[in-house]
Amino acid sequence: MAKKVLSGNDNTNGFQENPQNINRNGRPRKSFSVVNDELKAKGVEPLTKSNLIDAYSLIFNSTEDDLKEIAQDKNTPYALKLIINELNDKRTRSKAIADYRDYMFGKAMQSTDITSKGKEITSVTRTIIDESTNQDS
Are 80 and 67 spatial neighbours (Cβ–Cβ below 8 Å)? no
Alpha-helical runs (H) found in 42-77: 49-60, 64-72
Q: What is the DSSP letter of 44?
A: P
pLDDT band for position 76 (cuts 50, 70, 90): very high
Higher-pLDDT residue of 62 and 118 is 62
Return the closest-CA partner of residue 87 out of 63, 54, 51.
63
Give the whole-number percent of the chain exceeding pLDDT 70. 84
User: Cα torsion at 8, 13, 14, 18 (round to 10°)?
Assistant: -110
**66 lies in a domain?**
yes
Are 27 and 34 spatial neighbours (Cβ–Cβ below 8 Å)? no
**23 lies in a domain?**
no
**65 lies in a domain?**
yes
- Give just the sign of the alpha carbon dihedral 66, 67, 68, 73: positive
The one-letter amino acid at 101: R
Mean pLDDT of 70-82: 93
**77 lies in a domain?**
yes
Mean pLDDT of 69-95: 92
**87 lies in a domain?**
yes
Q: What is the pLDDT of residues 20-65, one digit of tens each?
A: 777 777 777 788 898 999 999 999 999 998 998 899 889 989 999 9
Are 117 and 107 spatial neighbours (Cβ–Cβ below 8 Å)? no
Domain region containing 58: 47-106
Higher-pLDDT residue of 24 and 80 is 80
Mean pLDDT of 73-81: 93
**126 lies in a domain?**
no
**57 lies in a domain?**
yes
pLDDT at 51: 92
The total of structural domains in the chain comes to: 1
pLDDT at 12: 58
Compute the mean pLDDT over every residue in the chain, rounded to the nearest whole number: 82
**68 lies in a domain?**
yes
pLDDT at 14: 67
Residue 54 to residue 60: CA distance in whole angstroms: 10
